[in-house]
Chain A
């Protein structure tokens, strides 16, 4: 791939220093990529401040549990077997499954419908006002309805996640398909491209950066959809677990589930990012991001 590792600050002499001892090397690394050192330091500082606040402010534990307790809850929850309904793995698996299946269903449907709609200008013009209207609705609001229709199992959660992730991909696919450089279309037409060839070799790849912007958005929304779905009524999942621990006033456990959720979100995000870098390596936006995290 392209070499994006051009040093950004000219006075950066760390490369020369690298060879003279591990400490210097570490220092050089810190100078070159300050965020990689500062980000973890910030986390430590925040946990430290939290700890001090919990010790000195004298707030009750159901408002501000000390970090050690949260850590303890996290370790307890994660040391249980994946089949133990009292542990975290089981519920994380359920929530991840709901989020992921909804994400896959919703986003692929969004891409297919979006590309089909964009193919015909008249269909697009007829549907667009409805798409915009529905998009601005808080789709979460139908979650209670789904519980009535489909019960307390995982189906209503997958369905709500599907609906939530469908729209960003619908809108972005339409925008992506419409943004294809007409010169590329002329090029393909001058070579007698069939509609299928046009779609797979020109339109779809050209729209890919837009599609990935939609996928990134949908990845975040999918976890939100699964959690809210579980809030409304569920027998399992991290959302259900939060409500349960909340009722027991085990706030340290609630906090520790937040940590699990954050890890889930981060995993999803990094996976999407890796996929984007693989498939969309040529897109400008991607180059810039790759530059930011040094890869």
Chain B
């Protein structure tokens, strides 16, 4: 951690407040590029010169039009996709492959239909070469309780609603107590009401467990409501257009969505996104 401190000071971002500045960086992305080589469409420049430093415990939201590379970025960080060039440092060491420090929540819950909820939630423990044979049943029960799935341990995924399934998927991502959570439009398939509930849930989990969260969404208000910083991305090629510091008090409450300050942030992001559409 000590050798990363000087680099931290060199980050050229006037918006960073001293409070967040004091926290060590947990994800450092430098000049990251990703080119998909396809046979039919040639090379697709999915990410171009991405630079981003995420600090420990920070909540980052990623917004941007469809196809701007949000999922690509998350998959690279999750170790699921090789990068074309650039450096990514996670928790002090260079990124190579999936890490136990990272939990991933996908757009779909991806629960295995032949396993009940408890077995699904414990699935990550059965993977990997150096498996810890620790018994996390108790922790799983605790987490399930936290997300309101108590009593559903022996149910099968298809007996649960979409929102409940996604909550189970979040518990699965948290089971090995990762320091970072990557969430790719986790609530995209849910109705507005459930979505608000889930947002509050995520904030609660984040605050209780002191995780670092990278949260991809299409919804501007969701991004502003959740995040410490909102990263706005542009398409073709995917790049960062702007990073907005969201200076709303914590804990966030749903009423804040109607506040003036919230509106200012939302309008700013919407303008940025609209400008992109005019360009294309």
B106 neighbours in A (Cβ, 8 Å)? 183, 186-187
Assess whether B159 is in contact with A191, with CB atoms less than 8 Å apart.
no
A283 neighbours in B (Cβ, 8 Å)? 113
Assess whether B110 is in contact with A191, with CB atoms less than 8 Å apart.
no
User: Is B100 interfacial (CB-CB < 8 Å)?
Assistant: yes
User: Is A189 interfacial (CB-CB < 8 Å)?
Assistant: yes
Assess whether B127 is in contact with A2, with CB atoms less than 8 Å apart.
no
User: Is A33 interfacial (CB-CB < 8 Å)?
Assistant: no
Assess whether A181 is in contact with B114, with CB atoms less than 8 Å apart.
no
A2 neighbours in B (Cβ, 8 Å)? 156, 158-159
Return the contact of B98 from the options A192, A202, A281 (Cβ within 8 A).
A192
Contact flags B95-112 to A (C-beta < 8 A → 1, else 0): 001101010101010101
Contact flags A20-51 to B (C-beta < 8 A → 1, else 0): 00000000000000000000000000000000
Taking CB as reference atom, which chain B residue is nearest A183? B110
Q: Nearest chain B CB to A39's CB is how many angstroms away?
A: 31
User: Interface majority SS on B: helix, strand, loop or mixed?
Assistant: loop
User: Is A54 interfacial (CB-CB < 8 Å)?
Assistant: no
User: Is A190 interfacial (CB-CB < 8 Å)?
Assistant: yes
User: Is A139 interfacial (CB-CB < 8 Å)?
Assistant: no
Assess whether A186 is in contact with B129, with CB atoms less than 8 Å apart.
no
CA A142 to CA B108, docked complex, whole Å: 50
Assess whether B98 is in contact with A282, with CB atoms less than 8 Å apart.
no
A189 neighbours in B (Cβ, 8 Å)? 79-80, 98
User: Is A197 interfacial (CB-CB < 8 Å)?
Assistant: yes
CA A202 to CA B129, docked complex, whole Å: 16
CA A282 to CA B113, docked complex, whole Å: 6
Assess whether A191 is in contact with B123, with CB atoms less than 8 Å apart.
yes
Please provide the chain A residues from 160 to 185 with a CB less than 8 Å away from any CB of chain B in the complex: 181, 183-184
A205 neighbours in B (Cβ, 8 Å)? 112, 114
Q: Nearest chain A CB to B183's CB is how many angstroms away?
A: 12
A183 neighbours in B (Cβ, 8 Å)? 106, 108, 110
User: Is A213 interfacial (CB-CB < 8 Å)?
Assistant: no
Assess whether B128 is in contact with A191, with CB atoms less than 8 Å apart.
yes
Number of A residues contacting the other chain (C-beta, 8 Å)? 21
User: Is A125 interfacial (CB-CB < 8 Å)?
Assistant: no
Taking CB as reference atom, which chain A residue is nearest B130? A192
CA A190 to CA B110, docked complex, whole Å: 12
B127 neighbours in A (Cβ, 8 Å)? 188, 191-194, 197, 201
CA A205 to CA B75, docked complex, whole Å: 25
Contact flags B59-76 to A (C-beta < 8 A → 1, else 0): 000000000000000010
Assess whether A193 is in contact with B128, with CB atoms less than 8 Å apart.
yes
The residue among B79, B100, B112 with the most chain A CB atoms within 10 A of its own CB is B112
B113 neighbours in A (Cβ, 8 Å)? 282-283
CA A184 to CA B113, docked complex, whole Å: 11
CA A184 to CA B79, docked complex, whole Å: 15
A181 neighbours in B (Cβ, 8 Å)? 110
The residue among A181, A184, A192, A283 with the most chain B CB atoms within 10 A of its own CB is A192
Assess whether A190 is in contact with B80, with CB atoms less than 8 Å apart.
yes
Interface residues of chain A, those whose CB is within 8 Å of chain B, are: 2, 181, 183-184, 186-194, 197, 201-202, 205, 208, 281-283
Interface residues of chain B, those whose CB is within 8 Å of chain A, are: 75, 78-80, 97-98, 100, 102, 104, 106, 108, 110, 112-114, 123-124, 126-129, 156, 158-159
A-B contacts, 28 listed (Cβ < 8 Å): A2-B156, A2-B159, A183-B108, A183-B110, A184-B110, A186-B80, A186-B104, A186-B106, A187-B106, A187-B110, A188-B127, A189-B98, A190-B78, A190-B79, A190-B80, A191-B127, A192-B98, A192-B100, A192-B127, A192-B129, A194-B127, A194-B128, A197-B127, A202-B112, A208-B114, A282-B114, A282-B156, A283-B113
User: Can you add 9 more A-B contacts, CB < 8 Å, to A183-B110, A282-B158?
Assistant: A2-B159, A183-B108, A184-B110, A190-B98, A191-B98, A191-B124, A191-B128, A192-B128, A282-B114
